[in-house]
Structure 1
């Protein structure tokens, strides 16, 4: 293993060397950072359009107009989720420095998480097929928006990213699973850098689907709270590559663990084990952790996550950043926004633990160290 004599850091260590976000605070890392540091509530009421479905409030990206942000060319039939991903990728690539993708497009991949893709597009297309004079009297230009990998594929095409392109769907854990997948791509030398994150759009149709899934029967019933939308993307690459391109590492990836549980009561044990094993892999003691960013899912599931974290950390009580209550439940994008929040708050050199737990029976934990490697 080659080690940098100046810092003792392995140049092959995987680092976050850039990030950006589209969130209810606005477009870009600066808007997100400001909102998170202030602890500002970005969940707002109906703006008069009546598009909140069964909810009274939601965390929506303010004044996001697809054509105004991306231009008219290529956006006539673009759905909101795709536009959010394309716009966020553009912001990240612009900040990462010139030539990231242009010099060697095959070297840069993309791993993008999503819930179902664009729920609004799927529902609209299906509705047209059922209510039209004939089932095939639909707009073919809208069909690509119904495919789950539309946002990832279009983002790569738009920004000339010709490396591996993957779509991940894993509920609330999606962002952590995407990060894990991106790390494997890099460690297996399938590419040299990856844009990694997740996206979720807000729409009335998605709001109704979430509402009915949460208020229906079953053991995994969840509290009904305001939904949100957003996209967070990080540039992941080896430390040596980041330095050679003049990018300072913002965080180093240290460890991760993912587990499943079959009954709601098993969530506490699964979270505790995932956290313990992720810390062990990262060679970090619980008392060294400087920040916790839990999924903050609320209800019984959120209480079990808190109980598990309390049992791991005991008397050591690092501050907890609870993002969901600020921006709403962003579902598939939530874990990526949690990672972005960990990068947004001050705390150079401290280990940070990000956890997520999903009512469908899976949990995950990621440990990273913020600041220079």
Structure 2
């Protein structure tokens, strides 16, 4: 018996275009870059340009009460989740244990980890640290706080996997529902901009890739069955057809690995290559960009003419939030009613550490 397919029936975004889905859709539709000069007083570091959520603070968007020690990535995630559940808060309150949350992250908050460690080393005594800030140093802080803040009592999972994190989280969410652990899943990813992250990225990149500015943001999606969405009066924006992942050993193998990955995902989803109308590539730096797009062309065919939705040039390298924002970019491009019946979208990614991934979305 095949698993019950899940649909995306809602989504929310916090991005360098602003807080909310409308701000993100407006920026993507206009093709407007959010990359600008970085406030060097707020974010001293090696990058002169970046893409940060404008005027974002936990106090402003989450509230002043209980947010004194909330770090930036947690506040971004809590805000994105809050923007999504506004549409079904009563349903959530009635059965909070039936809603799961799967949230992707990089290392949690690099800033919190490094600040806490520095305080322990530089203070008069290593134990003279602010204990209220210790929870920010664990990877699942953002997911845990998002659930607590919004009353989500179902399974709570944190996934980390570089720029493919959003796709990995999506695959995990599908398995979680398939196993009968919840009736709906909130799934997404979040990343913050910080001085500490900027230096780690700078030293971890090849010199040719240091020109790509950093970004931050979050995108969260509501996954449920089409029947549940219809009963609640929500339309299906897209059905999740399949996800797929493969590995490659040498950089030259990325093209073949991704092509094999995409072919397999399209076959499992029952989608013909000619039906793919939207493609959202990761577009990581260096030669992997060309390999990624060549792999997609290999599968779809030279004569295919899909609309390419390139997110990275507009919001920078959002690391762990990249794939989630790519998914959001597809939905933004599809419009208020989502993908048209028979229309398919493809989200792809190639990580420089040797992993490729993809997701196929289908209009119902």
TM category, shorter? over 0.9
Tell me the SS of whatever aligns to 1:299.
Answer: coil
Aligned residue in 1 for 2:354 = 361
Aligned residue in 1 for 2:53 = 61
Q: Count how many residue pairs are aligned between Structure 1 and Structure 2.
A: 358
Deviations 1:50-96 (A, max 9, x none): 515100110100011210111111101000000001111111001x2
Q: Among 311, 314, 321, which residue is 2:309 paired with?
A: 321
Aligned residue in 1 for 2:191 = 200
Aligned residue in 2 for 1:14 = 6
Aligned residue in 1 for 2:223 = 236
Give matches, 1:1-373, under 5 Å.
12-47=4-39, 49=41, 51-94=43-86, 96-215=87-206, 222-314=209-301, 315-346=303-334, 347-349=339-341, 350-370=343-363, 373=364
Deviates most, 336-345 or 64-73: 64-73
Give the Cα–Cα distance (whole angstroms) in 2 for the partners of residues 52 and 327 of structure 1: 19
Tell me the SS of whatever aligns to 1:99.
Answer: helix
Give the Cα–Cα distance (whole angstroms) in 1 for the partners of residues 262 and 32 of structure 2: 28
Give the Cα–Cα distance (whole angstroms) in 1 for the partners of residues 252 and 292 of structure 2: 11
In the alignment, structure 2 segments of 5+ residues that lack a partner are none
Shift of 1:348: 2.5
Shift of 1:215: 3.3
* Deviant stretches of 4+, over 3 Å: 221-224
Deviations 1:136-157 (A, max 9, x none): 1111100000000000001001
Give the Cα–Cα distance (whole angstroms) in 1 for the partners of residues 210 and 276 of structure 2: 29
On the 8 A contact 2:202/2:210 being kept in 1, the answer is no
Shift of 1:339: 0.3
Shift of 1:223: 4.8
In the alignment, structure 1 segments of 5+ residues that lack a partner are 3-9
Give the Cα–Cα distance (whole angstroms) in 1 for the partners of residues 276 and 88 of structure 2: 32
Aligned residue in 2 for 1:7 = none
On the 8 A contact 2:73/2:109 being kept in 1, the answer is yes
Give the Cα–Cα distance (whole angstroms) in 2 for the partners of residues 92 and 302 of structure 1: 32
On the 8 A contact 1:214/1:224 being kept in 2, the answer is no
On the 8 A contact 1:211/1:224 being kept in 2, the answer is no
Shift of 1:357: 1.1
Deviations 1:29-53 (A, max 9, x none): 0100111000001011023525151
Shift of 1:238: 1.0
TM-score normalised to structure 1 length: 0.93
Tell me the SS of whatever aligns to 1:367.
Answer: strand
Give the Cα–Cα distance (whole angstroms) in 2 for the partners of residues 98 and 273 of structure 1: 41
Deviates most, 80-89 or 243-252: 243-252
Shift of 1:336: 0.2
Deviations 1:148-198 (A, max 9, x none): 000000100111111000000000110000000001111111000111000
Give the Cα–Cα distance (whole angstroms) in 1 for the partners of residues 171 and 42 of structure 2: 38
CA 1:337 to 1:262, structure 2 compared with 1: closer, same or farther past 3 Å?
A: same
